[in-house]
Each structure stands twice: as C-alpha cells, then as structure tokens.
A and B are shown apart, each in its own frame.
Chain A
C-alpha cells in the first residue's frame, strides 16, 4: 500500500517543516527535539507497538503549538500540523488494512481514502488560513461563550465513544 510509504515520509516532513524555522528561534534545544520526535514517530510507524499512532498526533501538534507560540510563521505551523494530521491518518489507515490479505478493490480503497484525506486537509487548511485573516474583537463574555460551545461540540463528538464504553464493544454502533 502506498500509505505505508507515505505515512512516515509525511511524519518526517512535518518534523523538518518545524525544524528548519525553529533553528532560528529560541530556545535552541527545541529544534533538534522536534526533529528527533518526528524521526522516532516515523520509525515507530514502520516497526512499533500500537500506541505510537495515537501518541504521534498530540506530540507533534504540541510541538507545532509551542513553536507557534514562540513565534513560528503561521503558515509554517499550519502546514506542519496538516502534514502531521495526514501522517497520523495514513498510518492508522495502513494499520487497519495491513492485516487484511484478501482486500477488495485495494487501489480504489486507497484512492478514495487519499481523496477524502486531501479534501479534509485542504478544507481544514483553508478554513484555518481564512480564520487567520479575520479580525474579530471579542469581549471576555464572547470568548467564554465560544469556549463553552467548543467544549460542548467536542463532548458531543466524544459521546459515541463514552456510550460504547458503557454498552460494551460495538454496542453503540449497533
């Protein structure tokens, strides 16, 4: 599968995308640390325990967030995050299907996934870039309200997971 190759390449690329500008920023130890993290993550994709795919995204997104806070250019931070997200998704995809020997329409399956992922990443990047261009003056109350709404939306997304945990494996889906 192509995603087997692409996932570590994207993970490493996101690390390099963060590393290059971070070399010029303070503190000096951050850049090598980010690059090492991405390298370990990329290596973990090829031969790792199953915990790495889940931890890779928070780790690299955390580095990107920290770098953004330290003054990384916004477009670079967004690109690094999008690359991280794509690598994380492709890694899970190839893990999901690598155990299946008898795959139906494998090329179509992969192509559909690439199209979907490309669409999601493009849309996400576009919306994020657009939002950076917006200038909103919000009062503290609005910020609080938006934060609350954001939290509620996330909890709504997490609800099926919680329901499944209580109903047993596969219970919510059925």
Chain B
C-alpha cells in the first residue's frame, strides 16, 4: 500500500469537504466528490490474493565463491486476471545482481506464464534468501496485495578452492594406512631411512654392499621409510581482532580460502583432516577422509565468520585434546605477538606445526592512501612481523608468509625445507 499517496488524497478530500461545510460553499464540497469517487473505486477494486503460482529455481545447486548463479522465477497465473502485477525477487543483500534488477510485471491475463531471469555474482557465506514476491496493485496503485508462495530459504556459497602443490609434512605420529607422509618408521617406501644387519629373507637388492664391505657388522641391509597417511588438524583463526576490513575487502576471506585449499590438498592426499574454527566460539568438524569430509569442511567454511570472545582472545585455550597427540597441525592465521607462546607450547607437546599466515601488513598498507606516515608505520609493522615469524621459525615451526595478492601456492613453494628428523640411522 502506498501510504503517502493514500494519506495525501484522504487529507485533500477531507479538507475540501470540511471547508466546504464550514464555509457553506457548495463548490468546495463538490470538489471533494471526484477525489472520493477515485478513492472509493480504488477501495472497491483493491486486489485480492489470486491463484498465482510463483516458483524460483536456481540453475546450480553447488556454488563456489566468485561464480555466477543464474536464477529463474516462474510465475503462472490462474483464472483471474491481474490488471497490474509486479513480480519481484529479492536476492540476498550481499550478492550483487548482474544487469537489471530482478523485476518484471505488467498486465497478467488468465493463464499468463512469465519467466524472470537474472544472474547473481555469489560470495562465500550463508545468505538468507527471502522468497520471491508478486505484488498486485489496484488500478490507482493505492492498494496492493503481496503474495509469497515459497518459504524463505538460504543460499550456501562454498569458499573458492584452488589446487596446491604437494606440501611436505612430517608429523611424529602417522596412521596405519599407506599414504604420502613419511612416517619416521622403517618399512616399505622410497626414501632411504637407515641400515641394519641382514636378516634372512631380506631381498638381495636391498643389501648395502659398501657398508657390508667395511666388514664391521656383517651383511648390512638398507631400510626405507614407511609412507603413511597422517592426521591433519586445520585451525582457522577467526578472531575478530586479527581481521582487517578495508575498502570492502577482508583479510579473513583469504584465510578461509587458504583453509579450503589446504583441506582439499590434504584430503586428496588421503589424509584424515579435521577443522577447528577458533573465534567467538569453537566450531569443530570431526576428522574424516575423502570427498564427504571435503564437503563437510567446505560447508563449515562457507558460514565461517569472525567473532570476539574474551575466552578465545588469544590462542591460550586452543583445545589440543581435539587433535591426536603428535599429529600435524596447520594454523591459518595472520598472527599477533600474543600467539608466540601458545604456539611454542604446542610445539613442545610434540605437534608438528605449519602456520599459513596471510600478511596483514601488506594487505592493509596496499589499500591505504600512500602517505609517508603510512609507509613508515607499515615498515615498522613489517619489521615486527618479520621478527615474530623468525622467532617461530627458530622454534621449528614452519611459516608460510603469504602476501594475499599472490597465489597461495607461491607462498607454500617458499616454505622452508622439511624439518630435519630428530633421529639418525641406528645400527
């Protein structure tokens, strides 16, 4: 209903009639008559909810960040005509519509069928999607009837996933099944592990003839390192205070993208992957393998949001019990000075740590106006960050310093070589 217009004509008609009666002026009263006729006709012809069916169809069901979604809204009229009918779809506010607004309408004769098509550019997230509306107007537009034939729904957009190069991890513990991770145990494999005295049954091609020729331990056999799958715990840092939101861009989105890519890469390697979102609260996806687990992780990442909590202000309360002892942990976080001590403790407990750190300094300084003060501040912040990353590196924590303007794979290729094992060949 157009309240302003209705009020305008009501007030005008009332004032004309009132002054006409008060001033005993028949012309003024007569002037109110056309307005009253107009109003009465609009009221008599005000639209009723008809037998109109409105149905929305999205062409694709599984969506990833940055993709296009083609939406169709189909309206089919029943036996009653609508003199003025407007078909409106209300896309989620965060998703921009490409081209014209999803709006159609006009005269709808009985049995009229119309299809409204538009395209959305989707962004990661869980977007509530109100149902499409059909608004029927009376000929004056004063009264309207809104028809919604579908319940509200939501649109889940998964984070974008790109392929990553092989990432070498060396957790202390591995699982029982064959996989790509060196397990620090002798067995079937391709990497040289050590030598041991010959045992009956050892294949002859494994005999280390040079060591045998030295004659110190009799016949000596080469051992190879077993390759197994591993438990990988992904931790996505969703603390509000580490997120940077500038000019419509968020650093957190890059973190989500990195977590999705890493989850995909490790699951493709056959590993068992779990996910922990560490922000306003803890959201935990149980460890699992394969494509189903990939979907679980992507769904969890699709609605990941930053949040603030006094309890989870720093990484002090990272629930390590959720991750198997001495497994591989991968933290995706911009990092801050408070995080060093908790990470050292994790390392001391035997976890192998890999930190993928989207660089907040470069991200922010690039989007800020180039004042000399900003450049100096960025330089100081970069130095602080370099020191922080160096301290982590000295503690045996591998850090991928990721400038978010470059592909994640480039940052991972620059990772320091795999950590040296803490053991040697034992004879």
State the A residues within 8 Å of B (CB).
51, 53-55, 57-58, 61-62, 64-65, 68-69, 74, 77-78, 81-82, 85, 89, 92-93, 96-97, 99-106, 108-109, 112-113, 116-117, 120-121, 123-125, 127-129, 131-132, 143, 146-147, 150-151, 153-154, 157-158, 160-161, 164-165, 169-170, 172-174
Which A residues lie within 8 Å of B9 (CB)? 57
**Nearest CB in chain B to that of A61: its residue:** B12
* Interface-side segment among B19-27, B179-187, B227-235: B19-27
Q: Is the CB of A57 within 8 A of B1?
A: no
In the complex, B52 has a CB within 8 A of chain A: no
* Interface-side segment among B41-49, B165-173, B217-225, B354-362: B41-49
State the B residues within 8 Å of A (CB).
1-19, 21, 23, 25-31, 33-41, 43, 46-47, 49, 83-84, 86, 100-101, 103-109, 112, 114, 116, 137, 139-141, 143-148
Q: Which of A89, A96, A106, A125 contacts B137 (CB 8 A)?
A: A96
Q: Is the CB of B37 within 8 A of A124?
A: yes
Minimum C-beta distance from A116 to chain B (A): 4
Which A residues lie within 8 Å of B27 (CB)? 68, 74, 77, 132
**Nearest CB in chain A to that of B40: its residue:** A157
Knowing A89-B140, A102-B104, A109-B84, say if A143 contacts B21 (CB, 8 Å).
yes
Identify 5 new A-B residue pairs, CB closer than 8 A, beyond the known A57-B8, A68-B25, A154-B39. A69-B23, A69-B28, A92-B2, A100-B103, A173-B47
**Total A-B residue pairs with C-beta atoms closer than 8 Å?**
185
Which B residues lie within 8 Å of A51 (CB)? 4
Q: Is the CB of A174 within 8 A of B8?
A: no
Minimum C-beta distance from B56 to chain A (A): 16
Minimum C-beta distance from B53 to chain A (A): 16
3 nearest CB pairs, A to B: A124-B34, A104-B106, A170-B146
Minimum C-beta distance from A1 to chain B (A): 11
Q: Is the CB of A121 within 8 A of B34?
A: yes
Q: Is the CB of A92 within 8 A of B5?
A: yes
- Interface secondary structure of A, over-half rule: helix
How far is it, in angstroms, between the C-alpha of A129 and the C-alpha of B29 when the chains are bound? 11
Q: Is the CB of A128 within 8 A of B31?
A: yes
Which A residues lie within 8 Å of B29 (CB)? 131
**Nearest CB in chain B to that of A64: its residue:** B31
Which B residues lie within 8 Å of A146 (CB)? 21
Minimum C-beta distance from B38 to chain A (A): 5
Q: Which of A57, A58, A69, A81 contacts B25 (CB 8 A)?
A: A69
How far is it, in angstroms, between the C-alpha of A160 and the C-alpha of B145 when the chains are bound? 11
Minimum C-beta distance from B191 to chain A (A): 64
Minimum C-beta distance from A15 to chain B (A): 16
Which A residues lie within 8 Å of B15 (CB)? 58, 62, 65
Minimum C-beta distance from B252 to chain A (A): 34
Q: Is the CB of A100 within 8 A of B31?
A: no
Which A residues lie within 8 Å of B49 (CB)? 173-174
Identify 7 residue pairs between A and B in the complex whose beta-carbon atoms are under 8 Å apart, listed by A's number.
A68-B28, A74-B27, A81-B34, A100-B106, A105-B109, A151-B14, A157-B43
B35, B43, B108 interface centre (most CB from chain A within 10 Å):
B35
Q: Is the CB of B16 within 8 A of A124?
A: no
How far is it, in angstroms, between the C-alpha of A172 and the C-alpha of B3 when the chains are bound? 13
Minimum C-beta distance from B206 to chain A (A): 75
Q: Is the CB of B34 within 8 A of A85?
A: yes
Knowing A113-B139, A160-B1, A160-B143, say if A99 contacts B12 (CB, 8 Å).
no
How far is it, in angstroms, between the C-alpha of A87 and the C-alpha of B289 when the chains are bound? 69
Which A residues lie within 8 Å of B14 (CB)? 150-151, 154
Knowing A147-B21, A151-B14, say if A104 contacts B107 (CB, 8 Å).
yes
How far is it, in angstroms, between the C-alpha of A161 and the C-alpha of B144 when the chains are bound? 10
Knowing A77-B31, A99-B101, A165-B3, say if A154 contacts B10 (CB, 8 Å).
yes
**Nearest CB in chain B to that of A112: its residue:** B83
Q: Which of A104, A160, A172 contacts B108 (CB 8 A)?
A: A104
**Nearest CB in chain A to that of B84: its residue:** A109
Q: Is the CB of B30 within 8 A of A74?
A: yes
Minimum C-beta distance from A107 to chain B (A): 9
**Nearest CB in chain B to that of A151: its residue:** B14
Q: Is the CB of A100 within 8 A of B84?
A: no
Q: Is the CB of B7 within 8 A of A161?
A: yes
How far is it, in angstroms, between the C-alpha of A173 and the C-alpha of B33 when the chains are bound? 27
How far is it, in angstroms, between the C-alpha of A97 and the C-alpha of B103 when the chains are bound? 10
Minimum C-beta distance from B374 to chain A (A): 39
B7, B12, B15, B34 interface centre (most CB from chain A within 10 Å):
B34
B3, B18, B38, B145 interface centre (most CB from chain A within 10 Å):
B38
Q: Which of A99, A109, A131 contacts B33 (CB 8 A)?
A: A131
**Nearest CB in chain B to that of A105: its residue:** B107
Q: Is the CB of B6 within 8 A of A85?
A: no
Which B residues lie within 8 Å of A160 (CB)? 1, 46, 143
Which A residues lie within 8 Å of B105 (CB)? 97, 100, 102-104
Knowing A54-B5, A104-B106, A124-B38, say if A116 contacts B139 (CB, 8 Å).
yes
**Nearest CB in chain A to that of B75: its residue:** A104
